[in-house]
Structure formats: structure tokens, C-alpha cells
Structure 1
Amino acid sequence: MGSKSLAAQEMMSILETLSVIISIVEFIMGIFGNGFIILILCNDWIRKRKSSLIDFILMGLAGFRICFLCATLSTITFQLVYEKVLVSKSVLMIVIILWTGSNYFCTASSTCLTVFYFFKIANFSNPVFLWMKQKMRVVLLVIILGSVFSFCVSLVFIDVFTSVSMQHLVKIEQNFTSHYTKKFYDSLIYFIPLNIILFIFFVVSLSSFLLLLFSLWRHTKRMKLQGMYSRDLSMEAHVRAMKAMISSLLLFITHYVGYLMIMLEYCVQDTVTIRVFMHLLLFLYPSGHPFLLILWNSKLKQASLCVLRKLKCVKEDIIPHYQK
């Protein structure tokens, strides 16, 4: 029994270490990818003294994702290394507020990006669509203000949620099964109000994608009726936007699978394995999506290729020097 217990502890230690390594690698990738987007777009803004709406959205999204990555890494650090610090309600509350706020604004910015693609590329004759397309900046502003309002409202639930978490931390030595079951249900009560706005943002993004898909279907059908079977510029724009939307939606779903696993962590005893996958999924969206944005955006793609060419030239200059 002693050897089995020791082996189990060693396995848990390995998984904990793996979780930390995965988190750090994805964190560095996310900071690099999002930082690259901000650097290139800010440099272009300063050089041209003007910036497009899409550039503002991408810069905001990248900035909020950097904040989210830092808040997530701080939360994981508290959980894995400085768990006793979480006994302080003020520290726990600050961590939850920073994580929730950055999560809200990341999702709002991502939704703005999806809505922007939809209004720029979709082609409908519906008067409501045409009016909203003309007022697109107002629509995007409403999304941002909605996230700000929801975040302010969520502060009430965050305070209650923090108090409940503190109560369970104090009672952790009592009946283990009832403790985790009660903690799960109590957390779920406050988890739902905190994430209603995130669900709304997801519905808006999904609706934009489906409507864009419908717009592409109508455009393709119209072209076939006219005897045109090759892709035109409008179809190419539809396809590029849909690729960007699909990647964003899939990573968004993956991200919130990890988010839901946080809740699962409350009702099971062995949470180390869950924590490894949870950290992997939580970082995947803000760390992986920037590289897809660079791939789909012509300005960012061109800048990244230029950087790669310069790095290649530097490498070719350094290697012969060391060989001598």
C-alpha cells in the first residue's frame, strides 16, 4: 500500500510539473503572438497617422488577451504554488476580478471581430441589415458597452462567490464528499449569472457565422444561375472570413470546455489530471488564435514573413562567423 501511495504521489507530482510547463509554454506563445500583433499595428498606425477599424479591433483583442493570459497565469500560480495566499479574501477577490474582467473583454473583442467580418462581407438586401451595416460602429460600441455593464453587474456575484469559496476553504477538513458536492452546487449558482453575457456573445458570433454562410450560399447559387462557376472576389472574401470565423468559434468552444472543467474540479477528489487538461484548454484560445489571425490578415502575414526573412539573414550571417 505504501509503495502504491508513493507511486501515486510521484505521478501526481509529474502531472503537476507537466501542467506548469504546458502553462508556461502556451503563455509565452500567447504573449509573443499577441504582442507581435500590437507591435505591427501600432507601428503602422504611427507611420501612417491613421488606422482602420479592423486594426483597432485586433489591437484591442490582442491587448485584452495579454491581460487575460497574465491573469490566468497568476491564478494558476496561486493554486499550485501559493495556495495559502488564497485564504485571504482580498487577494482571492482581486484574482477573480482580473480574470473575469479580462475574460469578458477578450470575448467582447472577439465578438466584435466576427460581427465586423459579417457586416463587411455579407450581402443582404434586408433593410434592417443595411441599416445595421451603416451603423456598424454603433453596433460594435454596444457590444463593448454591454461587456462593461455586465462586468460591473458581475462584481456583485464575484463578491458572493468569493465569500462562498472562503467558507469552503475553512470547512475543507470536514465531510469531504458533502463538502465538494455543496461547493459544486454553490459555485454553479454564481457561475451561471457570471457567464450569461459570454453565452450571449457566443450566440452573436455563431449567428454571424451562420448568416455569412447563408450569404455565401446565395451568392454561389446566383453565380451558377448566371453560368459562372469560377470563384470571384466576393466568394474569396466569404471563404477567408468563414475560415477565420470557424477557427475562432472552435477555439472559443475549446476554451470554455476548459472553463467548465474548473467547475468539475470542485466535485471530484483527484483533480490533478483535470487540472493539466484544464490549463491546456484555457491557454489554447488566447495563445493559438493570434497566430491564425496573423495567417488570415494580409498586413500581419506580410509583416511576419518579413521578420522571418530578416531572422534567416541574421542566422546566415552568424553561422559562418562561428564556423570560422
Structure 2
Amino acid sequence: MVPWLLLGSVLFSLIIGTIAYNVMDKALSNNLNFTCQGRISKASFRIDQQFLPYYFIIGFGNAVSFTAVIFSALLLLFSLWRHKRNMQTNSMRDLSMDAHIKAMKSILSFFIMYSINFICSILTLIYAMKNDTDVIFLTYLIRYTFPGFHSLVLIFSNPNLE
């Protein structure tokens, strides 16, 4: 199943990348030559007017995936917490309870990291319209280090991977 998921992910990325390239190419090629006849009135064109629907679609996609991750993480955290509490009332103190606590800590850290990633992605969309390059650089820096931190948390939380 994993190879099929990877293939689907690559194909989906290829389709989205192709669409994004075509949109950018069309928008920029239509507005490069302002001196030709019929284009003089469009010289005050702003880039955010052209891409506002795409920003909305990107923001909506981020919000839907963030909502799914948050709900699943919260449900899993509450389930693990209830199970841990039931194990404590039965006075079972063993390695299984320590594993539950460790799993809850790692899910909570993913919850916090994904929340920061979502906030940065929304800030990127907002400041892209304002052309504030310093803030955009900082949010991109945080967003692109997210997968690395996620991998490091997974590696260091599992003693076999250390």
C-alpha cells in the first residue's frame, strides 16, 4: 500500500505543480508588456488582485488539512489519556503505561508543531499580498524546517532509531 500512496502523492504533486506553473506563467506573460494597444489602462495592476482566488483555495486547503489533523490528534490524545487512567485505577504500573505516556507526549509535540506550521502558512499568504519579504522569509524558514523537526522528534522518541 505504501508504494501506491507514494505514487499517488508524486502524481498529485505533479498535477498541482503544473497547474501552479501555468497560472503563474499566464498571469505574468499577460502583464509584462503594458505599452501595447489596449494594455495602458491595466498598468496599475496589482499582483494580489490576480492571485486572490488562488490564495483563498490554498488557505482553504491548509485549513481543511489542519482541522483533520487537529481533530484526529485530540481524539487520539483523549483516548490514550482515558486508557492510561483506566490502567492506573486497575493499579497496573508497567511498561505499557510508560509507552502510553510517551505516545501522548509525542502526539502533543506534533500538535504544537503542526499548529505553528499552520499559523506560518496563513501568515505567508497574508504577507504575500502585502509584499513584506522579511516576514515571508521568516515564515518560509519556519515552514520548511517543520519536516526536519518532525523527523527529529520521531527519531529521538524511539530508542531503537537513536
Asked if Structure 1 and Structure 2 have the same fold, meaning a TM-score greater than 0.5 normalized by the shorter chain, the answer is yes
Question: 1:184 Cα deviation (Å)?
Answer: 4.3
CA–CA distance in structure 2, aligned partners of residues 235 and 156 of structure 1: 48
Checking the alignment, whether the CA contact within 8 Å between 1:161 and 1:190 is kept in structure 2 is no
The residue type equivalent to 2:111 in the other structure is L
The counterpart of 1:284, out of the listed 139, 145, 149, is: 145
The residue type equivalent to 2:157 in the other structure is W
**Matches for 1:61-140 after TM superposition, within 5 Å:** 138=1
What is residue 147 of structure 1 aligned with on the other side?
9
What is residue 104 of structure 2 aligned with on the other side?
242
What is residue 170 of structure 1 aligned with on the other side?
32
Q: C-alpha offsets along residues 70-121 of structure 1, whole Å, 9 cap, x if unaligned?
A: xxxxxxxxxxxxxxxxxxxxxxxxxxxxxxxxxxxxxxxxxxxxxxxxxxxx
Question: 1:161 Cα deviation (Å)?
Answer: 2.6
**Structure 1 residues 217 and 192, CA gap change in structure 2 (3 angstroms):** closer
What is residue 219 of structure 1 aligned with on the other side?
83
Secondary structure at the aligned position of 2:130 is classed as coil
The counterpart of 2:123, out of the listed 261, 275, 293, is: 261
**Matches for 1:202-213 after TM superposition, within 5 Å:** 202-213=66-77
**Structure 1 residues 159 and 192, CA gap change in structure 2 (3 angstroms):** farther
CA–CA distance in structure 2, aligned partners of residues 288 and 145 of structure 1: 25
The counterpart of 2:58, out of the listed 191, 208, 215, is: 191
The residue type equivalent to 1:161 in the other structure is V
Structure 1 spans left out of the alignment, 5+ residues = 1-137, 302-324
Checking the alignment, whether the CA contact within 8 Å between 2:113 and 2:146 is kept in structure 1 is yes
Question: 1:185 Cα deviation (Å)?
Answer: 0.8
CA–CA distance in structure 2, aligned partners of residues 153 and 146 of structure 1: 11
Checking the alignment, whether the CA contact within 8 Å between 1:261 and 1:278 is kept in structure 2 is yes
Question: 1:298 Cα deviation (Å)?
Answer: 0.4
What is residue 155 of structure 2 aligned with on the other side?
294
Structure 2 spans left out of the alignment, 5+ residues = 35-41
**Structure 1 residues 240 and 163, CA gap change in structure 2 (3 angstroms):** same
**Superposition TM-score, scaled by structure 1 size:** 0.39
**Matches for 1:21-32 after TM superposition, within 5 Å:** none
Q: What is the identity percentage for the equivalent residue pairs of Structure 1 and Structure 2?
A: 23
Question: 1:273 Cα deviation (Å)?
Answer: 2.9
Checking the alignment, whether the CA contact within 8 Å between 1:187 and 1:263 is kept in structure 2 is no
- Structure richer in helix, relative to its length: 1
Name the structure, 1 or 2, with higher relative contact order (CA <8 Å, separation 6+): 1
CA–CA distance in structure 2, aligned partners of residues 220 and 199 of structure 1: 30
C-alpha root-mean-square deviation of aligned residues, in Å?
3.6
CA–CA distance in structure 2, aligned partners of residues 222 and 150 of structure 1: 43
